[in-house]
Amino acid sequence: MDIAGVLLVGGESRRFGRQKAFAHWKDKEFYQWSFEALNEETQKTVIISHPSLAEKLKMRYDGVYLDDVKYRGKGPLAGLYTAMKKIKANWYAILPCDTPNITGGVLAELKELRDERVDAIVPVIEGKKQPLIALYHKRTLPFIIENLEEGNLRMSSLLDSISVLFANNLKSPSSAFLNINDQDTYQKRRSF
């Protein structure tokens, strides 16, 4: 498979105050926007779920997994590791569940930037790196494992250990990258 989609629905939503994956945005739940964007631009999408959400998601979709037990609770790196173990592809497009403005167009732009000389393509929006809205090559797996084993759980640790193309000039609007982590942002932005 050329490119697989990975939807990360693994957070505990502490700042949001409830499970944000199922919060409503326009006419869909948060996670559905990311799932649809991935389905537009990949051959197959898997969902890596927090244990408390897995059963509800499994009633709707096949391909819902918990983090591999060895790294469960270790954040997005564990989710990416699990996805790479569950589905074989050359590239993995990852999205979090809390970016309801995301579109397949963002992923299409990233796909156009693929180059065998780089291990990841990460957007930079308004000066901020977006490692959870990115593409990772299958050859990053050993680096993911190394970081997990060493307890370096930040995505920035992975980026420091691989070859990354930072995409600064995407045509997609910065609003597509809006990440909603708390109720204040949610209430303000949902009325737009």
What are the residue boundaries of the structural domains of the chain, listed by start? 3-190
Residue ranges of alpha helices (H) inside the chain are 30-41, 51-58, 76-86, 104-112, 141-150, 155-161, 183-190
What pLDDT does residue 85 have? Answer: 96
What pLDDT does residue 192 have? Answer: 46
- Annotated ligand binding at 62? The verdict is no
- Annotated ligand binding at 115? The verdict is no
Indicate the DSSP class of residue 1: -
Strand bridging mode 44-49 / 64-66 = parallel
What pLDDT does residue 191 have? Answer: 47
Q: What is the Cβ-side half-sphere exposure of residue 124, based on CA atoms within 13 angstroms?
A: 10
Q: Which regions of the chain are under pLDDT 70?
A: 11-22, 24-25, 178-192
- Annotated ligand binding at 20? The verdict is yes
What pLDDT does residue 27 have? Answer: 81
What pLDDT does residue 164 have? Answer: 98
Strand bridging mode 3-9 / 91-96 = parallel
What pLDDT does residue 146 have? Answer: 97
- State the Cα angle at 79 between 75 and 81, rounded to 5°: 115
**Which fold does the domain 3-190 belong to in CATH?**
Spore Coat Polysaccharide Biosynthesis Protein SpsA; Chain A (3.90.550)
Q: What is the CA radius of gyration of the chain?
A: 15
CA–CA dist 117, 163 (Å, integer): 8
- Annotated ligand binding at 98? The verdict is yes
What pLDDT does residue 126 have? Answer: 92
